[in-house]
Amino acid sequence: MSATRDHLGRHLVAVTGMGLVTPLGLGVAESWAGLLAGRSGIRRITRFPTEHLKTSIAGQVALPEEAGRPPLSSPERVERMAALAAAEAVAQSGIDARFPGPLFLGMPPVEVEWPQRLELARQTAGEAAGRYTAMIAAAEGRRDLFETFLFGGIGERLADRFGTEGAPVSVSTACATGASAIQLGVEAIQRGEAAAALCIGAEGSVAPEAMIRFSLLSALSTRNEEPERASRPFEKTREGFVMSEGAAALVLESLESARARGAEVLGLVLGAGERADSFHRTRSNPDGGAIIGAMRAAIADAGLEPGQIDYVNAHGTGTPENDKMETLGMRAVFGEAPPPISSNKSMIGHTLSAAGAIEAVVSLLTIRDGILPPTINHETPDPAIPLDVVPNAARPARVARVLSNSFGFGGQNVCLVLGAAP
């Protein structure tokens, strides 16, 4: 039996349950099969009118309870997808009573949305029609709105449902959110604060206003006529990311406690590293310092050398800027012969707050099955990106350790190192 402590004497952190909800399917099996088949989950948006939108494509999760009714609000979608992923993860872990640790939920900011605002506005009239004062009066007694749109509401309901311990912590670090949620869980276990942690990243922001806002930043692909070909990370003709939604959940546990209860260990979270950038709100410092720092910090935290990383699960959004900077980071950290790197976002789009968690699960599946998911839509290589991006088709490879990158707007960068079960 191998050690249960890491190179710094901390508890080794095992993964004993995983759950996925992506545009490729509900559940780990369907989503992973789609990724290995190189299938795109990007489609024309059907959930709401797309007139006047520059981008009318997205990754969308079809929730069974939404059929034939107006779309759920973002917090409701986030909560449902998070709950589906968490239920799958907890079931796999075999934990069947109270969950023996805290909940860390990576989620987007939420607020009262247009359908609610317009519903309230319809109850106003005359001089005050549509005014906030009148809408506030119309909203009196609407505890349902309060509890739905509070930031803490989603976490509270999930904590209640899964019986997690203590106050649920909801975290947002933009596109690194899912990785931050995992990092918080890893740290709580490493410091012995908890035997386990339920870590979730969930996103449900595909809605008109959010899409318009990202469009105003020129961040989104506008390849509306070919949705499946729109997400093109690391490719020469890439021109933006594709918004998407989904959720992933991981049951983390100290290796010691997982073994003590005879749970199957699916893999390890070996290390985490983070570094904030002070350069610009939406761009990285051209020197790549924060990205490189986060990658190196994660590898060092795992007690490894860069040469021991077999594969990198990319942040790989498909924006000209990100992919250029990630390439710079790869060359700086790994030198002339970097390991293969591929982007799940080429198939499922950018799930924003969920991405870091989804990609951590995919990293563990990559290790489990010894097969690298591809970067699809790789038609014209970009000479400025001299990387093996596993173009277009999955391929077998022996993978023991994966670096998973997450780089966020606002300069929040988090990297994880995932490893095989001992």
- With beta carbons less than 8 A apart as the criterion, state whether 365 and 92 touch: no
Site for other proteins in 271-300 (CB under 8 A): 274-282, 290
Name the nearest CA neighbour of 107 among 191, 16, 184.
184
Q: Which of 411, 416, 419, 420 binds other proteins (CB under 8 A)?
A: 411
In the complex with other proteins, the residue whose CB is nearer, 274 or 326, is 274
CB of 277 to other proteins, least distance (A): 7
350 is catalytic: yes
Size of the residue set binding other proteins (CB under 8 A): 82
Q: Which residues contact 153 (CB under 8 A, 6 or more apart)?
A: 75, 147
Site for other proteins in 236-275 (CB under 8 A): 274-275
Place of tokens 């990198």: 312
- With beta carbons less than 8 A apart as the criterion, state whether 357 and 200 touch: yes
Max CA separation in the chain (angstroms):
76
Options 79-87, 118-126, 259-267, 321-329: segment touching other proteins (CB under 8 A): 118-126
121 near other proteins (CB under 8 A): yes
**Pair of tokens at residue 204:** 């449900």
How does strand 13-22 pair with strand 246-254? antiparallel
193 near other proteins (CB under 8 A): yes
Instruction: Report d(CA 109, CA 107) in Å as an integer.
Output: 7
Site for other proteins in 48-77 (CB under 8 A): 48-54, 70
In the complex with other proteins, the residue whose CB is nearer, 192 or 335, is 192
In the complex with other proteins, the residue whose CB is nearer, 121 or 393, is 121
Tell me the one-letter amino acid at 50.
T
Name the nearest CA neighbour of 198 among 81, 363, 87.
87
H/E segment holding residue 406: strand 401-408
In the complex with other proteins, the residue whose CB is nearer, 102 or 391, is 102
Place of tokens 């402590």: 5
The CA-based dihedral angle spanning residues 173, 177, 183, 187, taken in that order and rounded to the nearest 10 degrees: 60
Single out the catalytic residue among 7, 11, 52, 175.
175
**Pair of tokens at residue 124:** 């106003």
- Residues facing 25 on adjacent strands: 22
In the complex with other proteins, the residue whose CB is nearer, 5 or 122, is 122
Q: Which of 397, 409, 421, 422 binds other proteins (CB under 8 A)?
A: 409
| CA-to-CA separations, 283 to 277, 287, 329, 412, in angstroms, rounded | 9, 11, 14, 11
- Residues facing 158 on adjacent strands: none
Radius of gyration of the chain (CA): 21
175 is catalytic: yes
Single out the catalytic residue among 11, 199, 350, 415.
350
Site for other proteins in 127-166 (CB under 8 A): 129-133, 135-136, 139-143, 145-147, 149-153, 155-156, 159-160, 166
In the complex with other proteins, the residue whose CB is nearer, 146 or 225, is 146
Q: Which of 208, 306, 340, 422 binds other proteins (CB under 8 A)?
A: 208
3 near other proteins (CB under 8 A): no
Site for other proteins in 22-51 (CB under 8 A): 48-51
378 is catalytic: no
In the complex with other proteins, the residue whose CB is nearer, 279 or 331, is 279
Site for other proteins in 373-392 (CB under 8 A): none
How does strand 196-203 pair with strand 246-254? antiparallel
Q: Which of 12, 24, 61, 169 binds other proteins (CB under 8 A)?
A: 169
- Residue 215, phi then psi, degrees to nearest 5: -65, -40
214 near other proteins (CB under 8 A): yes
Place of tokens 């729109």: 230
Tell me the one-letter amino acid at 416.
L
315 near other proteins (CB under 8 A): no
Site for other proteins in 90-109 (CB under 8 A): 107, 109
Site string for other proteins, 389-408 (x = CB under 8 A): -------------------x
Euclidean distance between the first and the last CA atom of the chain, given in angstroms as a whole number: 9
Site for other proteins in 351-370 (CB under 8 A): none
Instruction: Report d(CA 206, CA 3) in Å as an integer.
Output: 44
In the complex with other proteins, the residue whose CB is nearer, 272 or 314, is 272
Options 15-23, 184-192, 226-234, 304-312: segment touching other proteins (CB under 8 A): 184-192
Residues known to be catalytic: 175, 315, 350
